[in-house]
Amino acid sequence: ALMITDECINCDVCEPECPNNAISQGEEIYVIDPNLCTQCVGHYDEPQCQQVCPVDCIPLDPSHEETQEQLHEKYLKISAKA
């Protein structure tokens, strides 16, 4: 999963771009739900939020590192529920 750092300026550009609805407005900055973020695996070649963020504050979440396979499995689980 990716994460949003405190450099976030609350511009709201990333939220509608997420195919998994993993991004929401938190108390101070926008946040990514690691259970829903597939790093866009299953939908796009590149993480869409990273592409649009004007301040480049969406790195990999070091506490939620996953393999491509794990990300793909998460994508399948989320799609099954949708």
Close Cβ partners of 21 (under 8 Å, ≥ 6 residues apart):
36
Name which of residues 40 to 59 contact ligand SF4 (CB under 6 A): 40, 47-49, 52-53, 55, 57-58
The 3-state DSSP composition of the chain as helix, strand, coil percent (nearest 5) reads 30, 10, 60
Q: Please select the residue that binds ligand SF4; options are 6, 16, 17, 79, rule is CB under 6 A.
A: 17
Q: Which residues bind ligand SF4 (CB under 6 A)?
A: 2, 4, 8-14, 17-18, 20, 22-23, 30, 32, 37-40, 47-49, 52-53, 55, 57-58
